[in-house]
A and B are shown apart, each in its own frame.
Chain A
């Protein structure tokens, strides 16, 4: 997957997470650029449980690769409804398919307006261009 691969069906943060709304719920993961920066991912540690609430901008877990360890930041606030438990034993799914099978958590947003404050695909593409230089 190319590092500049982006999808127009979702929003982005400057920390390279994506948030995708579907049926009133928002699924969250990291972008191809983030995956490329991390290299081979060895551990996805989601420090949250279903039913808990998370706050936009706060860490909900960590992701570890052969290179480094990074925080995972919540793009929006809300209550966790689903967690991708597959990642516990198969963190490589984030490397293989960060925009679908590599999703991390799904939340019921507490404030739908928050999603609009995130970067759209064009703004995120611009961010990637400036990051490359």
Chain B
């Protein structure tokens, strides 16, 4: 597939409101068998004057409309989706089967615990599995996504300090961390302090110490937030020393576990000294964005943080069975209604059981191997800013290509669409100019990776020979290059019948 994909027939589909005709209907309703009511009589001034102007379409019109829109989709079920930092792995359909088992899917969230023991057991077992993967002592499934997991972990860290009568404010964050980390600090009333990028892409203990001294923060160290492997796809090899350093200053270490897909069965955050992490079920344990479900960002923590976790806490009762413990005086409270995004628990649990421990470990091994394969094949065509081989994702830069050809990262990303691939993450991490962040995941075959490499190499060649072709891409999609600046500056957010 080293050539742009042929243009298939894709329909230019208008908004559904522009389809249909007055009186046309896709539903065959029985004749009215109750007296007709005039809403104006019942509701007076509250009744609307004009009809709602809903689309009136036949069933085939409605069906074709949405099917055609779905054909515009670039998604993991149709192509490689190498969106770095997002772990867009294929979502096995057996997970969807499991999540749709009526006894799970139709369970009311208010069901008394004695009538939903099976579901509670799945949650318990999932917590145990996540503790095993992370090397932690406890787990709460409540947080609805990664960012809420961060919020939760930091709230637990704050509560830990407050229980000791302290309220340190500074949280040290390497530049190569996820962007949400600093935001989570601000939401917690904490102060994010940046640790600058190092030439080898990883954080060194001396840098952490220097940042603490620079800030004059001795005694004010709430903790450190670190993403491992970091957003440069590099493994933080100094973590044990860094964790010890922070602990010696009275702080705690928060691990952003969004990149857990690189290390399952190989390294455990708890073993290297981290105190609390979140894990993105919707990344590491399938169902990526757009893969059929909402997010889920459980937190896993060491014993000393256990009293502060969200309540209610799922417990195994001494007499057998599972239940909820609401008597948690030091808990940070509820993070959301009910028990979290339950469907995600089923999918993640099904995946973990399907894979087994060795399978998860192999998934991480192959995820790293796939990314390194891309690194090895692409580093002579695009600048790779980190000198050592990457972990689960490879970060490239457009700086050399742009200097030589004027073609930028955005152009390369758009041109990839013509070759039939979803674009990687672009312009992130911010520490790399014109970053292209590529995460193939373990679910891609070598053949697919070779096709992707061929496309990337072909685009670099096009940039040299016919730069305008790349700068004006995409050419084969239903719509071409959109004016993103104008869309942001003068957004038209309403459709009106013209």
In chain A, positions 48-89 with a C-beta closer than 8 Å to chain B are 64-68
A64 contacts across to B, CB distance below 8 A: 488
Using CB atoms, name the residue of chain A closest to B408: A39
Using CB atoms, name the residue of chain A closest to B433: A37
Report yes or no: A42 in contact with B433, Cβ–Cβ below 8 A.
no
- Asked if A17 CB lies within 8 Å of chain B CBs, one says no
Report yes or no: A92 in contact with B489, Cβ–Cβ below 8 A.
yes
Using CB atoms, name the residue of chain B closest to A39: B410
Tally of A-B residue pairs with Cβ under 8 A?
Answer: 27
A68 contacts across to B, CB distance below 8 A: 427-428, 430
In chain B, positions 182-222 with a C-beta closer than 8 Å to chain A are none
- Asked if B484 CB lies within 8 Å of chain A CBs, one says yes
Cα separation A64 to B488 with both chains bound (whole Å): 10
B485 contacts across to A, CB distance below 8 A: 40-42, 65-66, 92
B430 contacts across to A, CB distance below 8 A: 68
Given the known inter-chain contacts A37-B433, A40-B484, A66-B484, please indicate yes or no for A91 contacting B489, CB distance below 8 A.
yes
In chain B, positions 149-198 with a C-beta closer than 8 Å to chain A are none
Using CB atoms, name the residue of chain B closest to A43: B488
B433 contacts across to A, CB distance below 8 A: 37
Cα separation A68 to B428 with both chains bound (whole Å): 9
Using CB atoms, name the residue of chain A closest to B491: A42
Q: Per-residue 0/1 for B482-494: is the Cβ within 8 Å of any A Cβ (1 yes, 0 no)?
A: 0011001100000
In chain B, positions 387-436 with a C-beta closer than 8 Å to chain A are 403, 410, 426-428, 430, 433
Using CB atoms, name the residue of chain B closest to A67: B427
In-complex Cβ contact of A42 among B403, B410, B428, B488 (8 A): B488
A91 contacts across to B, CB distance below 8 A: 489
Report yes or no: B489 in contact with A66, Cβ–Cβ below 8 A.
no
Cα separation A68 to B426 with both chains bound (whole Å): 10
- Smallest CB–CB gap between A65 and chain B, Å? 8
B427 contacts across to A, CB distance below 8 A: 67-68
A132 contacts across to B, CB distance below 8 A: 403
B489 contacts across to A, CB distance below 8 A: 42-43, 91-92
A66 contacts across to B, CB distance below 8 A: 410, 484-485, 488
Using CB atoms, name the residue of chain B closest to A64: B488
A43 contacts across to B, CB distance below 8 A: 488-489
- Smallest CB–CB gap between B490 and chain A, Å? 9
Cα separation A63 to B126 with both chains bound (whole Å): 43
A92 contacts across to B, CB distance below 8 A: 485, 489
Using CB atoms, name the residue of chain B closest to A89: B489
In chain B, positions 348-399 with a C-beta closer than 8 Å to chain A are none
Cα separation A132 to B488 with both chains bound (whole Å): 29
- Smallest CB–CB gap between A64 and chain B, Å? 8
Cα separation A39 to B488 with both chains bound (whole Å): 13
Q: Per-residue 0/1 for B429-459: is the Cβ within 8 Å of any A Cβ (1 yes, 0 no)?
A: 0100100000000000000000000000000
Using CB atoms, name the residue of chain A closest to B485: A40
Q: Per-residue 0/1 for A103-128: is the Cβ within 8 Å of any B Cβ (1 yes, 0 no)?
A: 00000000000000000000000000
Cα separation A64 to B430 with both chains bound (whole Å): 13
A39 contacts across to B, CB distance below 8 A: 410
Cα separation A41 to B489 with both chains bound (whole Å): 9
Cα separation A64 to B485 with both chains bound (whole Å): 10
Cα separation A48 to B197 with both chains bound (whole Å): 30
Cα separation A39 to B489 with both chains bound (whole Å): 14
Cα separation A92 to B489 with both chains bound (whole Å): 9
Using CB atoms, name the residue of chain B closest to A95: B485
A42 contacts across to B, CB distance below 8 A: 484-485, 488-489
Cα separation A67 to B398 with both chains bound (whole Å): 14
- Smallest CB–CB gap between A63 and chain B, Å? 12
In chain A, positions 10-38 with a C-beta closer than 8 Å to chain B are 37
Best-buried of A41, A43, A66, A92 by chain B (most CB within 10 Å)? A66
Cα separation A99 to B430 with both chains bound (whole Å): 25
Cα separation A66 to B411 with both chains bound (whole Å): 13
Cα separation A91 to B485 with both chains bound (whole Å): 10
Best-buried of A37, A40, A41 by chain B (most CB within 10 Å)? A40
- Smallest CB–CB gap between B473 and chain A, Å? 16
B410 contacts across to A, CB distance below 8 A: 39, 66-67
- Smallest CB–CB gap between A43 and chain B, Å? 7
Cα separation A25 to B482 with both chains bound (whole Å): 41
Using CB atoms, name the residue of chain B closest to A41: B485
State the 4 A-B residue pairs at the shortest beta-carbon distance, nearest first.
A42-B488, A40-B485, A67-B427, A66-B484
- Which residues on A are within 8 Å of B, measured CB to CB? 37, 39-43, 64-68, 91-92, 132
Q: A42-B488, A68-B427 are in contact. List 6 more A-B contacts (CB 8 A).
A: A37-B433, A43-B488, A64-B488, A66-B488, A68-B428, A92-B485
- Which residues on B are within 8 Å of A, measured CB to CB? 403, 410, 426-428, 430, 433, 484-485, 488-489
**A-B pairs with beta carbons under 8 Å apart, 26 shown:** A37-B433, A39-B410, A40-B484, A40-B485, A41-B485, A42-B484, A42-B485, A42-B488, A42-B489, A43-B489, A64-B488, A65-B485, A66-B410, A66-B484, A66-B485, A66-B488, A67-B410, A67-B426, A67-B427, A68-B427, A68-B428, A68-B430, A91-B489, A92-B485, A92-B489, A132-B403
